[in-house]
Amino acid sequence: MFLKVYEITLKSKVEEVRKVEHFVQRIAKENQFSEDFVYNVMIIITEAANNAVIHGNKLDEEKKARLKCGIQLQDAGKESLVIEVIDEGDGFDPNNLPNPLAEENLLKPSGRGVFLMKQFAHVEFEFGQRGTTVRMKMDIA
């Protein structure tokens, strides 16, 4: 069960991802998140939004990327932030991504998004007939 839910829809344009910063700042202010926590959220949600717009929707302006954030009450009164980023693309195999830490990939300008997401959150992928959902869960510090 979610205590609060926030949503935003992005057009599949790189410029649209800038809206994510304001979206996260609004959630952070309303929920009094620490600066460090906001920084980590900003990294993973921006990476996921970029992946949805660029790789999932392939910059097709007919397709949208939806972001949902929910505050979830856990056992012992702790709260978690659950983030879902949903695209309308064909999906991918997350087990088939190149290792960003391999020497041949270290200097590449991309390829670290999923790796970074997994450093800060528990990450799950769900593949449907109309797109991919990336679900990330972080304990609120």
Domain boundaries defined on the chain: 2-139
Give the pLDDT mean for 86-97.
Answer: 87
How many angstroms separate the CA atoms of 82 and 72, rounded? 7
Q: Residue 1 pLDDT > 80, yes or no?
A: no
User: Are the C-beta atoms of residues 126 and 132 closer than 8 Å to each other?
Assistant: yes
The DSSP 8-state label assigned to residue 101 in this structure reads: T
| 41: pLDDT strictly greater than 90 | yes
pLDDT above 90 for 117: yes
Please name which of 3, 22, 133 lies closest in space to residue 77, comparing C-alpha atoms: 3
88: nearest Cα among 24, 22, 10: 10
Assigned token pair, 94: 């997350």
Q: How far apart are CA 136 and CA 59, in angstroms?
A: 23
DSSP class of 10: E
Query: Are the beta carbons of 70 and 52 closer than 8 angstroms?
Result: no
Tell me what the mean pLDDT of segment 77-105 comes to. 88
| CATH numeric code, 2-139 | 3.30.565.10
Query: Which pLDDT score is estimated for 96?
Result: 82
How far apart are the C-alpha atoms of 34 and 97, rounded to whole Å? Answer: 32
pLDDT, tens digit, for every residue of 50-77?
999 999 999 999 999 999 999 999 888 8
Task: Say if pTM beats, i.e. exceeds, 0.85.
Answer: yes
